Amino acid sequence: MSAWVYAARRLMLAVPLLLGMSVLVFGLMRLVPGDPAVTVLGYKATPEAVRALREAFHLDEPLPRQYLAWLGGVARGDFGLDFRQNEPIGRMILDRLPVTIELTLLAAACTPRAGEPSVTMPATASALAVAPDFSGTIWAATGRRVQLGPSRWLRGHRPAAVSPS
């Protein structure tokens, strides 16, 4: 199986996963106690203001219709409005995307070097008992300067003295 076919399959499997997760999160958000309109407007809001906000954001409709309206908006790129900052969520995501990408790339660049000793040290230690020359290859592959030769890798091993004869 080629890498392109594998990647295409994984992307196709992501669609039902994302739909399932969106249903789950949408449902869990509706289980939170309290009225979202009252939460946004505060407890001193008038009943007319609460009703107007519920109608504006379709909170007075059944849950399946609310979900489908939200999903349709997401498909069009409309993620809704942040009530605290009164700003479209899509714009907020785009504003923060460069920093997110930068942090992701930095983490991806640092992770192999940070995790490398925790992998190579135990692997080298266990390789010493089996194949001393192979342990040098592990260190050389990671870009470290290595002095080759089994005498440097085996503890207690000293080359036999050559007697002058």
Residue 151 has pLDDT above 70, yes or no: no
DSSP secondary structure string for all residues of 97-131: HHHHHHHHHHHHHHHHHHHHHHHHHHHHHHHHHH-
Instruction: Encode pLDDT of 22-77 as tens digits.
Output: 999 998 988 888 888 888 888 888 999 999 989 988 888 999 999 999 899 999 98
Which whole number is the average pLDDT over 141-150?
52
Instruction: Encode pLDDT of 83-117 as tens digits.
Output: 778 899 999 999 999 999 999 999 888 877 766 66
CA distances from 17 to 13, 14, 130 (A): 7, 5, 45
Q: Is 67 helix (H, G, I), strand (E, B) or coil?
A: helix
Q: Mean pLDDT, the chain, as a whole number?
A: 79
CB 96 within 8 A of CB 107: no
Q: Is 60 helix (H, G, I), strand (E, B) or coil?
A: coil
CA 6, 9, 11: angle at the middle one, nearest 5? Answer: 110
Can you tell me the distance from the alpha carbon of 43 to that of 156, in angstroms, rounded to the nearest whole number? 77
pTM: 0.56
Which whole number is the average pLDDT over 113-139?
60
Burial class (CB in 10 A: 0-12, 13-18, 19+), 136: buried
